[in-house]
Chain A
Amino acid sequence: MFKFIRILLILSVSLFIFQSCSKGPLGGDHAANMAKLDKLYGKCKNPHRKIVGKDRRMLCEDKQRAVGPGGKEKPPLTIANLAKNFSREGGVINYQGMAINPFLWQASLELLDEYPLRIVDSQGGVISTDWITESTSPNQRCNVKITIKSQELVSNGVKVKLICQQKTDDAWYNDNSTYANEEKDLTLKVLKIANQIKAQDQLS
């Protein structure tokens, strides 16, 4: 049995070597799988977490109790953020009561700077442009909607949606097209600007 498990370990590590680091050997998202098992068994009793040490177990159990059955874990206090809050003068505007990441928010505003905005909701984290029409394509118009979904500067904390319409017989109709690549590119652009703002903010 012992030898069998040792061989299994070697095989698993070998598979790890030959796979992309963002996926498991047969695909799949490890973090997502663990989140499902946490929900099923409870984070502290998830058989794949194996929390070693009484203190870590106690901390895990107390956190789990604190959030209740469906709640979210309270984010821990971050020393870097604490120091930044004490030292900051100027820099990024921290909107009062903002429940979204200020860097993503400011980056989104910067990206859409040239366009007329129809919705700017800093509490809900939603920005939507008015219809944008180009003189070179008078029969097409688009609007861009950006939703900030996270308090952290993370890649899945921003969602960009592009809606376009075509003019037919003086009436506008949705073109029913998807713009996945363009939306992805705009998302990357927001993230890039947000990272630049954050870097500048840390220097100031």
Chain B
Amino acid sequence: MIIILFLCFFNNISSVLIKTKTTIIIKKGKIIMKKLTLALSAIAAAFSASAHADISVSGSANVAYLSTAASTDAEKLAVGSIASFALSTTTDTGLGISASLALSKDYDNDASTAVDGGNAVTFTTGGTSIVVGDVGVNDTIGSIGGVVNGPLDDTSGVSSNVATGFGAAADDDGLGVSFSTAMGAATLSIDYIANTAANNYGVLNPDSGESAMGASISVPMGAYTVTVGVADNDNGSSAAGGTIAAALGGGTLTVGYSNQTIDSGDHASLSTTGDTTSAGATYSMSLDADTTVAVGYLSNKDADSDSASKMELSIERALGGGASVYLDMVNLSGDAATDGTALGFGTAVSF
């Protein structure tokens, strides 16, 4: 990493030298007017010395009424807020470095106050972004259909029996490196988690722990954007899938397919090692400059032959000043510990 950053600095220094040389050539060339020439004469390399560091503060708050799918005590009121501190700087050579952490009161837990983030540092240039620290791999890549955000997404109460992902919640994120770069109009991301049990400090490739990797690429192809990816955990689980997105009828249609090979020993709701397949679609469109409506559908089937279908609907309206109101709905049917319909409406405010 240090070598990469050194070369990055070196490359930028080279480009500053080239710019200076170009400026000299321009000065030697024909310049249309004398006074403008004088104005230009002090053009400078000092422009590159525009380094700055900053801390910005932003936050959000949520208030939501939820009618969950739970069989008892289904009605809930969820209130939470978060304050986030973003730390950033830009070096003289244009390398961006940033980190963030947040203080939060979760809307779905009555006693939780947490400090989140601070586990990763991001290095950014015009062509590449590298995150070091707590990074994630997409263990259900191609599995889409979720359009509901916020409180109802986290506490709808519906619970499917279908096994998805790499098993434990921590198996798809941990201490590692995430690399994302442009390749022409395409975007390539490669993620490597050296220790899924740690976030900001830990053993690299522990003897008794797990590591994971993932890669994905998004390529625009005419009116379509195709994203394909793979992910792998050394517990024996892996995933592959893709999505195709396109503008359609004033909105955006996305369809996706995912195949996840899951080891039953790592997944509480699976008794047979085998494949889970997911197929889904979302459609999102703007009704006006402030209102968005989105619908999603996802169908899953796992190696135990459990299958379930989920449908989601979300309507959001921005009110200005950072405030918005929303109405969400989630419906789950099939093999499920809890199926049914959950509804939620509320307001989210971004400060």
A: which residues have CB within 8 A of B? 1-2, 5-6, 8-9, 12-13, 15-17, 19-34, 36-37, 40-42, 44-45, 47-48, 50, 52-56, 58-59, 61-71, 74, 76-80, 111, 114-115, 132, 134, 136-137, 140, 142, 144, 153, 155, 162, 164, 179, 181-182, 185-186, 188-189, 191-192, 195-196
Contact = CB atoms under 8 A, between A and B. Distances in A.
B309 interface: no
Listed from nearest, the 5 A-B pairs whose CB atoms lie closest are A68-B318, A28-B182, A24-B182, A62-B60, A69-B286
Interface stretch (B184-192, B273-281, B332-340): B184-192
B70 to A, nearest CB: 20
A15 B7 CA distance: 12
B191 to A, nearest CB: 7
Given A27-B182, A28-B186, A68-B317, A62 B349 contact: yes
A77 B56 contact: yes
B232 A29 contact: no
Contact of B40 (A2, A61, A132, A185): A185
B331 interface: no
Interface of chain B, helix or strand or loop or mixed? strand
Given A24-B127, A53-B134, A77-B58, A185 B179 contact: no
30 contacts: A5-B230, A12-B181, A21-B128, A22-B125, A22-B127, A30-B126, A31-B126, A37-B187, A37-B218, A45-B146, A48-B216, A53-B102, A55-B84, A55-B104, A58-B62, A61-B149, A62-B324, A63-B350, A65-B324, A68-B317, A68-B324, A74-B350, A76-B58, A80-B54, A137-B32, A182-B31, A182-B40, A185-B23, A186-B36, A192-B42
B111 interface: no
A21 B96 CA distance: 11
B58 A56 contact: no
Contact of A79 (B54, B150, B187, B284): B54
A182 B289 CA distance: 40
A154 B191 CA distance: 31
Nearest to B284: A42
Contacts of B286: 68-70
Contacts of B26: 181, 185
Contacts of B191: 50
A63 B35 CA distance: 48
Contacts of B119: 52-53
Contacts of B49: 195
Nearest to B61: A62
Nearest to B150: A61
A56 B36 contact: no
Interface string B223-250: 0010101101010001000010100000
Interface string B28-53: 01011111100110111011011000
A69 B292 contact: yes
A143 B181 CA distance: 41
Interface string B169-182: 00001000111111
B27 to A, nearest CB: 9
**Best-buried of A16, A67, A68, A79 by chain B (most CB within 10 Å):** A68
